């Protein structure tokens, strides 16, 4: 597969605990913090939020592509992506995700079908398939 775009980001410092994230084009430049809910200081973004933002935006593009292929007109699209970091009793860390998709202008069956189709198209979905638990909740609006 030929690469058509490569996002380049450098992370310095302490990584998720006070590190800095910078994209090579300067459009992303932020600090990181462990969330308060996980015992950290909070006050800055974290890798789970960044992953949720990337996956959610990519997934929504995949939904629109699936709809266009089927000649379905969507009146509105919205997704809330939830990426959860788990810390097990065994000391291991893991992720899970819930993608809450809301589509306007379609019935529930079509919303469900587009969610399933997008999950087959989206590169983030492909990368995580079989690696983490993923739930897709599609809702007709």
Domains and CATH numbers, the chain: 1-45 (2.20.25.10), 47-140 (3.30.300.20)
Bridge-based pairing state of the strands 29-31 and 76-87: unpaired
pTM: 0.92
pLDDT tens digits, residue range 110-131? 999 999 999 999 999 999 999 9
Coil, strand, or helix at residue 110? helix
pLDDT tens digits, residue range 59-107? 999 999 999 999 999 999 999 999 999 988 898 999 999 999 999 999 9
């Amino acid at each position: 597969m030929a690469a058509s775009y490569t996002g380049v980001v450098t992370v310095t410092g302490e990584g998720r605990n006070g590190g800095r994230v910078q994209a090579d084009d300067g459009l992303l430049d932020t600090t990181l913090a462990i969330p308060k809910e996980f015992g950290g200081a909070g006050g800055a973004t974290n890798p789970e939020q960044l992953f949720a933002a990337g996956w959610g935006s990519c997934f929504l593009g995949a939904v629109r592509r699936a709809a266009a292929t089927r000649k379905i007109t969507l009146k509105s699209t919205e997704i809330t992506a939830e990426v959860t970091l788990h810390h097990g009793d065994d000391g291991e860390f893991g992720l899970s995700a819930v993608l809450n998709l809301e589509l306007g202008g379609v019935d529930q069956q079509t919303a469900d079908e587009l969610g399933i189709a997008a999950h087959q198209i989206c590169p983030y979905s492909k990368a995580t398939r079989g690696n983490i638990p993923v739930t897709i909740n599609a809702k007709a609006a």
